[in-house]
Chain A
């Protein structure tokens, strides 16, 4: 029975202006031929948009959350623990949700056929991790700190050290791929990808925080990195309660 109330859907708020990068950003050369030039058409949030894949434990292998234990030997570099919570804009944890990461090795080299700069591959490091958030929305990876790497975007261009993160949230509207950076990186000032975020405060939300309580004695340095996804418009649910 389809009464209109039954089709009341959650609504996801727009993120504040300046949060996300423009698709056309001259500082990052690869955007030139890849950004749409036509105006985007507004897609109302209907059933397909407010639902999304809920991907569970079936996607994980044994050492997927520990990138230092995926081979017989240990990788080179500074061992680190990266942990944080996956939340939506209302502060609600996104539970049992897949978090995927990929990164360069300690020397800044990716295990990818297209990455040919003269820094060696590490036979003990693939640079790929997956985990699920827990009931508090928390994820944790053990890995090594990635190195900076050069690219050909501009003269003497170097990417600041970063880990690529991919998360789903609980709706198609919340899908996010981002990069986690490390505090006080001297390469921020010349990096167009980092600086493509218009709002300086939003930019800083991609920078992880060193946390001495996460750091483990005689073992690994700890970093905190929370990921916040689009929030729901609370009024949609308040209205529903008012009707009772």
Chain B
């Protein structure tokens, strides 16, 4: 089959909030689901100012470490777990995602990945999304095949801190404490 050439990325622009939010977007699981918690944070720019026109998307395994997807070679996970969350930032740059702790997931070559969530950040001023990962401070992150490739002094930007109703994960697009972003 002939190779087709890909369509370029463009920014979401300042008005993404008319098109992309869903009423249930922040709810990876419905409110009241046992074990559900909030991941909350603020998206900030290079000056440390909040970014009011960004959007966070999350994708993760279910609590058993499965994915409801045909390309999971262990078999497609059953159940209703959507795995996906989406939340635009508020005028003060904050967002929130209600979810369950993802299970551990196998990595490459017999390794095991620590519990993690993949994140896309979109915003006015971002011509392409940036990608990061959320890990959890009260979980065993030792030996994670991705974290170990990140310079030690920057790993903390990927680790969500425990809070009263879940975890805090701030995103710093640029500057002091800049979040580690990944090339896929």
A and B: partners? yes
Chain A residues close to B by CB (< 8 Å): 2, 4, 6-10, 12, 15-16, 19-23, 25, 28, 30-38, 40-55, 59, 87-92, 100-102, 110-112, 114-115, 126-128, 164, 166, 170-173, 175-179, 193, 196-197, 201-203, 205-206, 226-231
Q: Within the complex, what minimum Cβ distance (angstroms) separates B29 from chain A? A: 14
In the complex, residue of chain A having the shortest beta-carbon distance to the beta carbon of B150 = A41
**Distance between B20 CB and nearest chain A CB, rounded to angstroms:** 6
State the main secondary structure of chain B at its contact with A. loop
- Contacts A25-B127, A48-B60 hold; do A179 and B10 have CB atoms under 8 A apart? yes
Q: Given that A28-B127, A41-B180, A92-B1 are known contacts, is A6 also in contact with B8, CB under 8 Å in the complex?
A: no
A20 and B184 CA atoms in complex are apart in Å by 13
Q: How far is the CA of A37 from the CA of B180 in the complex (A)?
A: 10
Name 21 interchain pairs, CB-CB below 8 A, sorted by A: A2-B106, A32-B46, A34-B124, A36-B173, A37-B174, A40-B181, A42-B182, A42-B183, A44-B107, A48-B116, A49-B118, A51-B59, A53-B82, A89-B5, A164-B10, A171-B71, A177-B11, A177-B122, A179-B13, A193-B11, A227-B7
CB of B87, distance to nearest CB on chain A (Å): 14
Q: Is B73 interfacial (CB-CB < 8 Å)?
A: yes
A59, B84: Cα distance in complex, Å: 13
Those 3 A-B pairs whose CB atoms lie nearest each other, nearest first: A102-B19, A30-B125, A53-B84
Q: Among residues 1 to 40 in chain B, which have CB atoms less than 8 Å away from a CB atom of chain A?
A: 1-20, 22
Question: B137 to nearest A CB, angstroms?
Answer: 19
